[in-house]
Amino acid sequence: MSEKYLGVRFKTIFKEDKRIEEERIEKLKFWGKKFADLNLAPKIEGGFAGNLSFRTHHGFIITTSGANLSELNDDDFVEVMNVDVSLKQIFVCGLKEPSSESFLHHAIYIKRQDINVVFHGHDKLTLKFNDMLNFPITKKEQPYGSKELVDEVVKILNMNCNYFLIKKHGFISLGKMIDEAGNNAIEQHKKAVELRDKNLQNAHYLQR
């Protein structure tokens, strides 16, 4: 769970240095703040533990590496145009480095053609109570930003579910529309909050 920011593990090639303009970016700003407020994307050293993206004609638009999710501004988005997995290169339009989990988002968009939105965050509660919640979860723990992690996630994508967990790491919430992916993450979070509160009540009752 202790995800420390270690920098981007691929080479970014800037095809065009320009600010990305797209209507839907406003919605990502909204959900970035929401995730930060609810601690679904907690603050970590060097940034926030979470990244948000949506599909475009050319590829996808994603939050930048180390972006302040609680206060995203217009420069905090890049458009990933192309990805070369074997050479570990990523071709973008934008002004900053894309999220270090861009390979993960890329793999999901390829595998799940029905999905247009990928939200990734770190919800401690859904991980903690997954024994009871039973979300699909990757089998093996892998370092974030690694090819091994992407491979683990791709295995789960075969199940066609829109919310799943990455072992000892976080969650992925998918949607056709932006609000769908955001609301989905919050809905699952609420289930975990209910379990936590019930547990606390039980502990209190036993103590009496």
Closest approach of Cβ 15 to Zn ion, in Å? 26
Compose the 109-148 pattern: x for residues touching Zn ion by CB under 5 A, - for all others.
Answer: -----------------------------------x----
Please, which residue, 44 or 186, has the CB nearer to Zn ion? 44
Nearer to Zn ion, 93 or 102 (CB): 102
Residue whose CB is less far from Zn ion, 42 or 93: 42
- Other residues' Cβ atoms within 10 Å of the Cβ of residue 148: 11
Which two tokens mark 54? 């949506």
**Closer residue to Zn ion in complex, CB, 36/93:** 36
Q: Which residue is nearest to Zn ion (CB)?
A: 170
With contacts defined by CB under 5 A, how many residues of the chain interact with Zn ion?
2
Shortest distance in whole angstroms from residue 79 CB to Zn ion: 21
Output 43-47 pairs: Cβ under 8 A, ≥24 positions apart: 43/70, 44/3, 44/4, 44/5, 45/4, 45/5, 46/4, 46/5, 47/5
The CA–CA distances, whole Å, from 8 to 12, 81, 120 equal 9, 17, 16
Output 34 or 168, the one with its CB closest to Zn ion: 168
Query: Which pair of tokens denotes residue 48?
Result: 């926030």
Task: Quote the least distance from Cβ 205 to Zn ion, whole Å.
Answer: 36
| Contacts to Zn ion from residues 160-189, by CB under 5 A | 170
Q: What beta strand segments (E) does the chain contain?
A: 11-16, 43-44, 47-48, 50-55, 60-63, 77-84, 89-93, 117-121, 163-166, 170-175
CB of 135 to Zn ion, least distance (A): 16
Rounded to whole angstroms, the Cα distance separating 106 from 27 reads: 20
Residues near Zn ion, by CB under 5 A: 144, 170
